[in-house]
Amino acid sequence: MKSLTAEKKKRKTVPKELIYEMRYGSPIYYRDYDRVLSGEKSLEEVMGSSKIQWFLVYLILKFLMKNLDTDKYIIATNEAGFQWAPRSWRNLDIAVFDRKKLKKEKLDQKYVKTPPEVVIEIDTKADLRKYGDFMNYMREKTNDLLNAGVKKVIWITTFDKKVMVAEIRKRWFITDWDDTIELIDGININIKKLLEEEGVEI
């Protein structure tokens, strides 16, 4: 009973700005949110992306804009909010939407409800302590997205230079940055090659 009361008290005292995502009414906080509460860090520090995170987003967006049929697809970024169930939403680093499906929604200040065709995630800003490790969080978010109608989820992790590809009713697999994977419609991407083309070595 005490732990439940403590959890409810914590939820009341944590500002909504420190909530990274929401899953069935249960908040997922930003990494180091408690250090913001204690004054050790600012809100901007925990919400910001690292150099390698935003640079990879830039490279992938540049690649998509060059190779993707933008008459057929719309690319969203900037932690696009996707509401996939009541009291549930996830932030998406890069999302590729079917233009016709997305245009059925009004352009307003709410989170998008149309499932993207492809979601690309680079690491995470989520607090992982209740998950134990990154893999548990990644599996949960991936399953949520696929069950919500996303056709493909791709994770790019910088700490081990890996890429995970997940599709519903297909075998998930993890490979290296130097492997070539399909994004959508036969368009292939190779993270290591993108970096080399920019003259960047990690």
Chain centre distance of CA 100: 23
Mean pLDDT for 27-35 is: 94
Give me the phi and psi of 22, to 5 degrees please. Answer: -135, 135
Pick the CATH number of 49-197 from 1.20.1250.20, 3.90.1570.10, 3.40.50.2000, 3.40.50.300: 3.90.1570.10
Decide if pLDDT at 161 tops 80: yes
Count Cβ atoms within 10 A of the Cβ of residue 24 and give its class: 0-12 exposed, 13-18 middle, 19 or more buried.
exposed
Distance CA 165, CA 110 (A): 28
pLDDT digits (tens, 9 = 90+) for 171-201: 999 999 999 999 999 999 999 999 999 998 7
Read off the pLDDT of residues 131-151 as tens digits, 9 standing for 90 and up.
999 999 999 999 999 999 999
Q: What is the pTM of this model?
A: 0.91
3-state secondary structure of 97: strand
146 exposure class (CB count in 10 Å sphere: 0-12, 13-18, 19+):
buried
- pLDDT higher than 80, residue 8: no
For the stretch 49-104, pLDDT in tens is 999 999 999 999 999 999 999 999 999 998 999 999 999 999 999 999 999 999 99
pLDDT reported for residue 2: 46
Q: In the 8-state DSSP scheme, what is residue 200?
A: -
